[in-house]
């Protein structure tokens, strides 16, 4: 598999969330995940962000903006990558 067959997204390449963060005391967490489908990758990314928040004692989270999803060509078991932002209290 050539490097050109992969779509690589770095944190700097992710678009800013179009939905502003809540004005409450919620903290913003980012999560990333992989999966064979876009839905699985998004769920994995949400779980990643919620796991980070739970380490800080925050257990109520709300998705902020739209998930970022891209396809990784040539990777059948990890064919999608997703990134999300969640606000947690």
Residue range 32-54: average pLDDT? 96
Q: How far is CA 38 from the centre of its chain?
A: 11
Q: Quick check: is 38 in a domain?
A: yes
**86: exposed, middle or buried (Cβ count in 10 Å: 0-12, 13-18, 19+):** buried
Q: Which domain holds residue 64?
A: 24-88
pLDDT at 23: 53
pLDDT for the residue numbered 25: 83
Q: Is 11 contained in some domain? A: no
Q: What's the whole-number mean pLDDT along residues 3-13?
A: 37
* Residue 6 within any structural domain of the chain: no
Assigned domain for 12 exists: no
Mean pLDDT across the chain: 80
pLDDT band at 81 (very low <50, low <70, confident <90, very high): very high
Q: Is 60 within a domain? A: yes
pLDDT band at 22 (very low <50, low <70, confident <90, very high): low
Quick check: is 62 in a domain? Answer: yes
Q: Which residue has the tokens 């078991």?
A: 77
Q: Indicate which CATH number applies to the domain containing 45.
A: 3.30.1660
Domain count, the chain: 1
- With 60 as the cut, is the pLDDT of residue 89 above it? yes
Q: What is the pLDDT of residue 64?
A: 96
């Amino acid at each position: 598999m050539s490097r050109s067959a992969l779509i690589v997204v770095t944190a700097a390449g992710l678009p800013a969330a179009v939905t502003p963060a809540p004005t409450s005391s919620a903290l913003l967490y980012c999560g990333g995940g992989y999966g064979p489908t876009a839905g699985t990758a998004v769920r994995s990314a949400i779980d990643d962000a919620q796991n980070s928040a739970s380490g800080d004692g925050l257990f109520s989270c709300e998705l902020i903006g739209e998930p970022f999803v891209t396809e990784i060509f040539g990777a059948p078991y990890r064919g999608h990558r997703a990134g999300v932002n969640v606000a947690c209290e």
